[in-house]
Chain A
Amino acid sequence: MASPPTTATPVTPAATKPAASPMAPPRSFLWSRRIFLTLLTGFVLLPVYVMVSSSLKPLADVTGEFRWLPTELTIRPYIDIWSTVPLGRYFVNSLIVAGAATVCSVVIAVFSAYAVSRHSFRGKRVFTVTVLSTQMFPGILFLLPLFLIYVNIGNATGIALFGSRGGLILTYLTFSLPFSIWMLIGYFDSVPRDLDEAAKVDGCGPLGALFRVVVPAAIPGIVAVAVYAFMTAWGEVLFASVMTNDTTRTLAVGLQGYSTLNDVYWNQIMAASLVVSVPVVAGFLLLQRYLVAGLTAGAVK
């Protein structure tokens, strides 16, 4: 709102600060923005507040009329959640499944994206279109056939896919694969080709060029893809509810165990929800700038 910047101003990091500019927004815009953002923040945070506050309430506070504030603060629910249902086991299962699915998905997506980005070959378009179109399939269409395939593979080869973590890992990694490949293609395209050509001449094979040049330059994109893959696997419900048994159950299904009991322990459910959310939300918020950068470079181009 002060003096407009002169054209002679050199572009320095300081120039990106909210300095005066001819586009200083009018007061009415500032006010409506303030009101809108406040309302939106309230809408977003309301469930988070309910989750946190209810998880610190004694049971009596969550069975009667809703209370904004706990009558007394207690960490009891956080102790009880581990014994009401075998939450620890579900947690470990989810960690194994989501972790393995993420690692495999990222590695496979890196190879595929490198092939598409750096090589021209017959069937390239068919491949990218087919992979992307699998995003469109309703999960319900291949749930039962996949279940039958896993059972048949198990009967024929003895590899237990149905009911095992392996089957779930295999399924989840393909869920995040199409989007990951798509995003990494865009990201790899933005890494100059001269770089890997130079590396090849310096004696690296094609894979050497991939791992020494392209992958290091595309780390933000790879991190973004990994975050996405982990979140996808950590949150999936449909296949987890059909393809797991008591020992391999993941959090997505296990958490429902609290509400099927005779008394619904809402304080424990909220505590458990918070505990299972913390790893992904913390990881996501730490890495979200990579996701935005990855989307800018990849998908949105």
Chain B
Amino acid sequence: MSPDTAMTATAPAAQAAVRKDAPGAARGPRRRPGRIRRIGLPYLLLLPALILELLVHLVPMVIGIVMSFKELTQFYIRDWGTAPWAGLDNYKVSVDFDAPVGAALLHSFLVTVAFTVLSVGLCWIVGTAAAICLQDTFRGRGLLRALFLVPYALPVYAAVITWVFMFQHDNGLVNHVLHDQLGLTDKPSFWLIGDNSFLALLTVSVWKGWPFAFLIVMAGLQNIPRELYEAAALDGAGMLQQIRRITLPSLRAVNQVLVLVLFLWTFNDFNTPYVLFGRTAPEAADLISVHIYQASFVTWNFGTGSAMSVLLLLFLLAVTGVYLALTSRQRSQRKVKHG
């Protein structure tokens, strides 16, 4: 809104600018230093971001990859450069699925895949449904929108600690409701150890994650012109048909990014399981980030931990690459189809 009004206000100035620019352009080539400065300027502006990304992300990543080829136990951690080379040993240990280390890694990987698919799917469905429900205005809409964003705004640890309290065996809300009040279970269940922990983790993850999907879809819905719906309604399209024919197709581009981002965040999530279960997660909810953290910091075997991280990165790269290739091909096909 404000840029538009500003533009109309300065439109004469812009025209004047064009006129004034002409003689300046003629003088241009003689002013060499100005030109160099102009070419150098974008790089200068990017410099801080570049240095920081190099220092905190890219260089550590390269070092991490180097470390994965070393035999890096606590004896060498003071001066990691002197650690002996291990060749592919760390990788062999990680993917030897018959031995305990590899078997545990594979199990953790499969748990993470199942968890991620379920969590991303549920977050997307709930978020999209809520965004569609709040699409047209009604009383209390603003309040609901604010409420729904609370789980996203709460710091992870504060929210997850509250869930830990709710999942307590003796004094938690979940057992109180399911066992004492509704009588659904024979005896109070354990939620943070054993098989139930997967369900507990999924619940917390969806509770924490769906508002982000809601936020993005809500922003995407604002770009759909109202006239589309009105035209469809005049053509006799019902509510569900409008959602299927207009809303969901219009959200395609948004969803492509959203699902990828949700996938990467959920797959790499460390904070939620770490606060929920502590340093060692129960087997049923042993997400890969915590598993690798445990493999490196609790057992002090950084070489193997690094090799596992590199494998994880390769997996994520492959999935992202395939996903982007598939979605962009789909998009270009659609473009061709629609002319």
Residues of A in contact with B (beta carbons under 8 Å apart): 16-18, 21-23, 25-26, 29, 33, 36-37, 40-41, 43-48, 50-51, 54, 62-66, 108-109, 111-112, 114-116, 119, 121, 124, 127, 130-131, 134-146, 148-149, 170-171, 173-174, 177-178, 181, 190-192, 194-195, 197-198, 200-202, 206, 217, 231, 234-238, 241-242, 251-252, 255-256, 259, 266, 269-270, 273-274, 276-277, 280-281, 284-285, 288, 291-292, 295-296, 299-300
- A255: chain B residues within 8 A (beta carbon): 157-158, 161
Measured between beta carbons, the chain B residues less than 8 angstroms from A236 are 271
Task: Give the chain B neighbours of A273 by CB distance below 8 A.
Answer: 157-159, 161-162
A17 and B21 CA atoms in complex are apart in Å by 47
Inter-chain pairs besides A140-B289, A198-B10, A277-B154, 9 sampled, C-beta below 8 Å: A36-B130, A46-B166, A50-B173, A64-B171, A119-B42, A131-B49, A138-B268, A145-B60, A235-B155
B309 cross-chain contacts in A, Cβ below 8 A: 138, 140-141
B114 at the interface (CB under 8 A from A): no
> Are B223 and A300 in touch, CB under 8 angstroms?
yes
CB of B57 within 8 A of chain A? yes
**Residues in chain B near residue A177, CB distance under 8 A:** 49, 52-53
Q: Given B21, B24, B41, which contacts A206 in the complex, CB threshold below 8 Å? A: B41
Q: Shortest CB–CB separation between residue B290 and chain A, in angstroms? A: 9
Asked whether A25 and B64 contact (CB < 8 A) given A50-B162, A50-B173, the answer is no
**Main SS of the interface on chain B?**
helix
Is the C-beta of B187 less than 8 angstroms from some C-beta in chain A?
A: no
> Once bound together, how far apart are the Cα atoms of A177 and B275, in whole Å?
25
Closest B-chain residue to A67, C-beta based?
Answer: B176
The answer to the question of B184 belonging to the interface, with a C-beta cut-off of 8 Å to chain A, is no
In the complex, what distance in Å separates the CA atom of A114 from the CA atom of B41? 11
In the complex, A109→B7 CA distance in Å? 25
Q: B274, A136: Cβ atoms under 8 Å?
A: no
Q: Given A44-B207, A66-B176, A197-B17 in contact, is the A170-B49 Cβ separation under 8 Å?
A: no
Q: Look across to chain A and name the residue whose beta carbon is closest to the beta carbon of B66.
A: A145
Listed by A's residue number, 18 A-B pairs whose Cβ atoms lie within 8 Å are A23-B233, A66-B176, A116-B42, A119-B45, A136-B264, A138-B309, A142-B61, A144-B296, A149-B60, A195-B3, A238-B293, A256-B157, A266-B171, A281-B154, A284-B152, A284-B153, A285-B153, A296-B222
- Residue with the greatest number of chain B CB neighbours at <10 A, chosen from A25, A66, A108, A266: A66
Contacts of B175 in A (CB 8 A): 66
Q: How many A-B residue pairs have CB under 8 A?
A: 311
What separation, in Å, do the CA atoms of A192 and B43 have in the docked complex? 22
Is the Cβ of A54 less than 8 Å from the Cβ of B165?
yes
A244 CB, nearest partner CB in chain B, Å:
14
A51's partner among B162, B180, B268 (CB-CB below 8 A) is B162
Closest to A147 in B: B60
* Chain A residues with CB under 8 A of B138: 18
Structural contact, A192 and B57, CB atoms closer than 8 A: no
- Contact (Cβ within 8 A) A198 B60: no
In this assembly, does B2 line the interface, its C-beta being within 8 Å of a C-beta of chain A? yes
Chain B residue contacts of A116, Cβ below 8 A: 42, 46
If the complex has contacts A47-B207, A296-B222, are A138 and B313 also in contact, measured as CB distance less than 8 A? yes
- CB-CB under 8 A from A141, the residues of chain B are 60-61, 64, 306, 309-310, 312-313
How far, in Å, is A266 (CB) from chain B's closest CB?
5
